[in-house]
Amino acid sequence: MNNIKGLSGKKRAEVAALSLYEISTLVQQLESILDDSERDVIGVSVNANKSHVHLESITFLIEFMEFDIEVDDSPDYPYELKAEIGGVEFIAVMSVAEIADLKTTIPDQWEYIQRKVQVVEG
């Protein structure tokens, strides 16, 4: 949009309208993907600095074998899992109980998380 400053008023309006149309089309495509994902994708946030895709935790754990973990003092979801592909950050949040359940459901990921949390907390 910064390139339209030197344009005439009519041309500027045409370029702005085209940009808004392109944005509208992209949003519709994202909505379609979200509908098709059957709730695997919780949400998408597109920003100029960094875009995020919030995934269901199980989907995240199936898709990513390696990832970063941030632990905070949130009472509900203290674990935030993060991985990046092509400049887009994929995240999932997990509760203490969900992490504990991984010990029996996905033991390899539970072990990975335990090692990563020790590094984060250590």
* Phi/psi of residue 105, nearest 5 degrees: -90, -45
Residues 87 and 116 in one domain: yes
Percent of the chain whose predicted confidence (pLDDT) is above 90: 52
How many CB atoms lie under 10 A from the CB of residue 34? 16
Residues 64 and 82 in one domain: yes
Number of domains in the chain: 2
Residues 25 and 76 in one domain: no
Q: Which tens digits make up the pLDDT trace of 29-49?
A: 888 877 777 768 888 888 878
How many CB atoms lie under 10 A from the CB of residue 57? 21
Q: pLDDT at position 1, please?
A: 46
Looking at per-residue confidence, does 22 or 88 come out higher? Answer: 88
Residues 88 and 116 in one domain: yes
For residues 83-96, one letter each, b for 16 or more C-beta atoms within 10 angstroms of the residue's C-beta and e for the rest, the string is beeeeeebbbbbee
Residues 48 and 83 in one domain: yes
Q: Which tens digits make up the pLDDT trace of 48-75?
A: 788 999 999 999 999 999 999 999 999 9
- Its domain, for residue 8, covers 1-36
Looking at per-residue confidence, does 39 or 100 come out higher? Answer: 100
